[in-house]
Chain A
Amino acid sequence: MFLYDFSELTSSIHNSISSVMSPLATTVVEMVIAGIVFLLFYALVGLILVYAERKICAFFQCRLGPMRVGKWGLMQTIADFIKLLMKELIMIKNADKLLFNLAPFIVIIASFLAIGAIPFAKGLHALDFDIGVLYVMAVSSIGVLGILLAGWSSNNKYSLIGAMRSGAQVVSYELSVGLSLMTIVVLAGTMQFSEIVEAQNTGWFIFKGHIPALIAFVIFIISSTAETNRGPFDLAEAESELTAGFHTEYSGIKFALFFLGEYMNMFIVASIAATVFLGGWMPLHIVGLDSFNMIMDYIPPFIWFISKTAIIIFIMMWIKWTFPRLRIDQLLTLEWKYLLPINLVNITLMALCVLNQWHF
């Protein structure tokens, strides 16, 4: 049915490893391989996203962005990364040393846990839990723990204020993220990512679920932007008022980990939005147009997945570089007075649609 099925490739790798090793060693080796692949993927995506952000932001502001290092500044992020690696790691005198050093790793580990559950193509899927949606929501909110620890252990008033804001923000917006995903779970009838993607074979959920799915998609984009601490919800690191907030005291590679964590969280929420609403790696299928569906099937699923994710990342960057930063009371008003009630009504509407077969 699908031209590009990676499950045969992964199972053949599994069989060849397990033929020479015990089951325990096989598991360990496979985990190490998956970890290395994700590490390389992280470095690649981080570099590309930072470059994309700087270029896109520049074009929104009638600028050119980085142009000096390499053609069109393509090598700029690599140069920045080398510079960051060579920076001194400043140890703060009165900081809580253990928590200070632990915090960036919690942020990066949380995003690592979340990316494992993302389906990149059929068979290219590190963890396929039957409660995948719940799992991703759970582990992606561990990241805020790292931010809170960073703010607390820095022994700095700006960091602490930034961390507290981040806590209030994530606790509020987690609700909206959960409920908007839950709307689609009601439609799909499953929480397993692979089954959610398979169910979109006959049409993406944003088309199948029409009005309630569209509302859920918009709410998911807004609240996931808030959850990743990106503008216009970047109160936690507001440069102008908090001098970078929770990562004021961090330098060198520890700062780079926070930076990478922010961009990877953006990638993860964008890929979840692409998977749940836009069909993930599933090509665009229209029921009845078989030749059209055949042509769409020839485009590899990885390309579909990455391009959908890129479109959502572009929308998030567009939002970031257009709107001014919200105040903390405006932030909480938006969540508790607007997004949450609309979301609750929306999930009821979706339940009615599913019960009465009003969806496609």
Chain B
Amino acid sequence: MNSFTKYFSDLFNGIHSLITGLKVTGSYFVRPKEIVTQQYPENRATLKMFERFKGELTMPHNNLNEHDCTACGICEMNCPNGSIEIISKFDVIDGKKKKVLDKYIYHLGMCTFCGLCVKTCPSDAIIFGQGFEHATFERTTLNKQLNKPGSVLKKEVKE
């Protein structure tokens, strides 16, 4: 008798779970507003990428043309495929010789967008931007300098 009831409970449980599955896809079918497809070239003007999208590495500057990079080189060391190159120079600030950033070279063509540089940066100087249209005709245009010309390290706020 036990196997008899098991047969029918299996059957009706199976039918029930199949109907649950049909309900899920059926509810998607009747809600066309939830379509996730982006028709890219047409909606280029309105396309908004999501916050965590890793488009390209950028270095944010404030309106005084200052950035956060101390040229420590941790991002360069952590980069698994050598797409970051930090060229530093020594400046005399307040009578002391200090290492400051000269050029932050980012080789986009070598980057795998792993995000280790952003994760390990001690001063949060670099973030991932939203831009993704990287296609070019020249490979050399993929080598970018992230710090703007004439930019300096942000002054530490005195407490």
Contact = CB atoms under 8 A, between A and B. Distances in A.
Contacts of B37: 58, 62-64
Most B CB contacts (10 A, CB to CB) among A58, A318, A319, A322 go to A322
Given A63-B35, A338-B11, A318 B22 contact: yes
A59 interface: yes
B24 A322 contact: yes
Given A67-B39, A338-B11, A60 B21 contact: no
Interface residues of A, number: 15
A65 to B, nearest CB: 8
Contacts of B149: none
Q: In terms of DSSP, what is the predominant structure of the interface of chain B? A: helix
Contacts of B26: 318
- Range class of the B interface residue count: 10 to 19
A321 interface: yes
A61 interface: yes
Nearest to A319: B22
B16 to A, nearest CB: 14
A62 B35 contact: yes
The CB with the most chain A CB atoms within 10 A, among B24, B32, B35, B36, is that of B35
A58 to B, nearest CB: 8
Given A62-B36, A63-B36, A63-B37, A323 B21 contact: yes
Contact of A59 (B11, B21, B24, B32): B32
Contacts of B28: 59-62
B29 interface: yes
Interface string B6-23: 000001000000100110
A59 B21 CA distance: 15
B34 interface: yes
Nearest to B14: A338
B52 to A, nearest CB: 20
Contacts of A319: 22
Interface in B69-96: none
Between A59, A63, A318, the greatest number of chain B beta carbons within 10 A of the residue's beta carbon is seen for A59
Given A322-B21, A322-B22, A338-B11, A60 B39 contact: no
B29 A60 contact: yes
Nearest to B26: A318
Contacts of A321: 25
Contacts of B34: 62
A64 B22 contact: no
A58 B39 CA distance: 14
B25 A322 contact: yes
A325 to B, nearest CB: 13
Interface in A45-74: 56, 58-64, 67
Given A64-B37, A318-B26, A321-B25, 13 more contacts: A56-B29, A58-B37, A59-B28, A59-B29, A60-B28, A60-B29, A62-B37, A63-B36, A63-B37, A64-B35, A67-B39, A318-B25, A322-B22
Interface of B: 11, 18, 21-22, 24-26, 28-29, 32, 34-37, 39
7 contacts: A59-B29, A61-B28, A62-B28, A63-B37, A318-B26, A318-B29, A322-B22
